[in-house]
Amino acid sequence: MRAFMIAGKPRLTSAAKGLKEWRALVANTAQAESAMWTVSPLDPVALDLVFYLPRPKGHWGVNGLRPSAPKWPTKKPDLDKLVRAVGDALVPVLLHDDNQVLSIQALKKYATPEEPPGVLVSLYPFTPAHAV
């Protein structure tokens, strides 16, 4: 992240590799699915995210997944940065502003043949049940 001032207001930008393309892909997919969205663009929402990350090549051996391969992705990318990228991509496609998101549940895991790399996004109206 880089911060700078424009007209007396702080602005943040990211130089993360592939971020612009990732946001565009999420936004385009959200736009395609927006017909199912029944919440006003100003209402509070809850967001559930499951990120499916590809396994590094070093996790694989000649007989498939190595026994020493970790079960969970504890390396980069950081979960909070993944969440932020999706939240930003949903504006203005489904949300007026990402500050409408009052509850977030997020998980990152390794992709499998049944669950290819990507993100599963569930966005729904916020209810008091989400206020844990």
14: left (phi over 0), alpha (psi -120 to 50) or beta: beta
What was the pLDDT predicted at 92? Answer: 79
Q: DSSP state, 83? A: H
Check whether 1 has a pLDDT greater than 70: no
What was the pLDDT predicted at 69? Answer: 95
Could you give the CA distance from residue 130 to residue 47 in angstroms, rounded to a whole number? 10
Domains of the chain in start order, with CATH, are 16-130 (3.30.1330.70)
Report whether 1 contacts 13 (CB < 8 A).
Answer: yes
Could you give the CA distance from residue 30 to residue 100 in angstroms, rounded to a whole number? 16
Measured at the CA of 12, the angle between CA 10 and CA 87, to 5 degrees, comes to 125
Position of tokens 């549940």? 105
pLDDT per position as a tens digit, 87-122: 888 887 888 888 899 999 999 999 998 999 999 998
Could you give the CA distance from residue 26 to residue 33 in angstroms, rounded to a whole number? 11
Q: Please give the structure tokens belonging to residue 32.
A: 């395609």
pLDDT per position as a tens digit, 16-75: 777 778 777 777 777 777 767 667 768 899 999 999 999 999 999 999 999 999 999 999
3-state helix, strand, coil in the chain (%, to 5): 30, 30, 40
Cis peptide before 77 (omega within 30 of 0): yes
Check whether 11 has a pLDDT greater than 90: no
Model confidence at 3, pLDDT cuts 50, 70, 90, reads: low
